[in-house]
Structure 1
């Protein structure tokens, strides 16, 4: 069923209520100082991708190497992922994949949220910018609300942006359902950054979606194994996407490194942005 935003319905009602003879401009009879109705446009996207099919099998093999060692029946189920519980998959959708090796456990989570404004004077895209901004502020990073025509950094190296799987194509206007799942580049790594400590700090990213940031946190509790989680959050029009990639070491003395987790998280985020934005 096609999505019909509430603001479009309100616009129709307002239009229906302003009719007189049908030949006069509705604003001509307005009294000085009387309020005028301004309805913000609906969001660009009206659906979400199927989360558990948004990442290619090849990418999952790179991000979760332990999956390849599972028996065939278990491997198939593991690649399918576990869908998040949601009551409206056109508004929120997510999926989790996990793999264990002798050295560590890795977990990948992809979440999509399509933001809809219930205020007719505020667009879906502006509401999505607010949702994104709150996530950035929670991570201790600057929150900005880019305008609707903001785009990725034009100076970004195109070679650093992963392409969809072979045979893929752009999603149709108004739908974020990708025709092919997102993939990493052939090496499985993002080509940007030199691994310096400053480069690995939580930061705003300028080459993914309309706005994006990366957060990196390490959880450790005494003798417990340490877990590092890298999150990349980005906004594309009225959709907010979160990629969380975590590694928990088996040995409590081992500290999961940031560089690889960050590189692969950014590469996946760029792939997702490419498949839902074009």
Structure 2
């Protein structure tokens, strides 16, 4: 009987300790149940396509005129392309092609960049949008969301100057001498109405090319991925080679794609057809966007 109170006391102590531990556990649970940051969703794409196989052979034949007429082994070498050197094919890949035809040299390159955000509060898509936006600003453009009365005021000085220059080139006549120098033509400063050159049709073609530059400047594109722009790079002023490069950059989810398409005519008197280059570069970009979405 003397041991009964001790047993009762021991049981009481056990119950008390259990209750204390439960209260501590509840306290810990209440802290753990405090508001937490939900990790941002991952991007749609976890891998990238094989770049040198991303362009259909039929499109390569159209983009690289003259390649189809080469002997079999040379033709295959051109169409095979050259893969870009990269150390992480899950994050960035690319491929380039080049074709030398009697009248011009055409070159093409594509790059895929899969963007991953290491910040749990920032999604892969948002991080990819930041990467894309930097490329767009570097081209002197602004996205529709950023467009507005304060768009240029809020941008950095170099970018604002670039955008102002593009606007002046597209809409004002004060920069016509600069445009003529960029086109590299000797008579580019002449009045467009005075096109009675001995070359006849060739002169008219040059005038059409000049009008094309005004009608198809660098610009933001619609209905291509989540965001897209086209950058039209004319020949540098003072250059004797009439080289032109068109770039189309677009983002779809967490992947940023860049298409570069260029032409250099064999004769310095010939001017690349900007409209043709732009149309073909856009067509390829849309095909790549479809390939990614499959």
TM-score, normalised by the number of residues in structure 1? 0.69
SS in 2 for 1:111: strand
2:292 counterpart of 1:276: yes
Contact 2:109 2:259 in 1 (8 A): yes
- Aligned mates of 1:55, 1:134 — CA distance in 2: 26
- Aligned mates of 2:69, 2:53 — CA distance in 1: 21
Contact 2:129 2:251 in 1 (8 A): yes
- Aligned mates of 2:58, 2:27 — CA distance in 1: 59
**How many residues matched?**
208
Larger RCO: Structure 1 or Structure 2 (Cα < 8 Å, ≥ 6 residues apart)? 1
- Aligned mates of 1:64, 1:88 — CA distance in 2: 29
CA RMSD of aligned residues (A): 2.7
2:90 counterpart of 1:74: no
TM-score, normalised by the number of residues in structure 2? 0.65
Which residue number corresponds to residue 226 of structure 1? 242
Contact 1:129 1:144 in 2 (8 A): no
When Rg is computed on C-alpha atoms for both structures, the one with the higher figure is 2
Which residue number corresponds to residue 85 of structure 1? 85
Instruction: Flag the structure with higher helix content.
Output: 2
Distance 1:96 1:35, change over 3 A: same
Q: Deviation at 1:225?
A: 1.4
Deviations along 1:9-36, one digit per CA (max 9) or x if unpaired, are xxxxxxxxxxx99x979873259xx873
Indicate the larger mover: 195-204 or 90-99.
Answer: 195-204
Gaps of 5+ in 1: 1-19, 147-194
Matches within 5 A, 1:1-278: 28-29=30-31, 36-143=36-143, 197-220=213-236, 222=238, 224-278=240-294
Gaps of 5+ in 2: 1-21, 147-210
Q: Deviation at 1:108?
A: 0.5
